[in-house]
Amino acid sequence: MASTGYSSGRSHLEKHFTASATIRDIVIGMSDGLTVPFALAAGLSGAVSETQIIVTAGVAEIAAGSIAMGLGGYLAARMDVEHFASERAREERETIDMPEQEAAEVAQVFQGYGLDAESVARVVSAIRADRRRWVDFMMRFELGLEEPDPSRARTSALTIALSYIVGGLVPLTPYLVFRSVERGLVGSVVVTGLALLVFGYVKGRFTAARPLRSAWQTTLVGGLAAAAAFLIAKAIG
- Whether the predicted pLDDT of 231 surpasses 70: yes
Give per-residue pLDDT as tens, 122-141: 877 887 777 788 777 777 77
- How far is the C-alpha of 59 from the C-alpha of 65, rounded, in Å? 10
| pTM for the predicted model, two decimal places | 0.73
Q: For 22-64, what is each residue's pLDDT tens digit?
A: 888 888 888 888 888 888 888 888 888 889 999 999 999 999 9
Q: Which amino acid is at 110?
A: F
Contact criterion met (CB below 8 Å) for 151 and 60: no
Single-letter amino acid code for the residue at 62: I
Q: In 3D, which of 190, 185, 192, 193 has the Cα closest to residue 234?
A: 185
**What gap in Å lies between CA 34 and CA 223, rounded to an integer?**
10
Q: Longest Cα pair distance anywhere in the chain, in angstroms?
A: 84
Average pLDDT score, the chain: 80
Q: Select from 228, 225, 171, 213 the least CA-distant residue to 194.
A: 171
What pLDDT is stored for residue 58 in this prediction? 92
pLDDT in tens, 167-199: 999 999 999 999 899 999 999 989 988 988 888
Q: Is the pLDDT of residue 97 over 50?
A: yes
Per-residue confidence at 15, pLDDT binned at 50, 70, 90? Answer: very low
Q: How far is it, in rounded angstroms, from Cα 40 to Cα 119?
A: 63
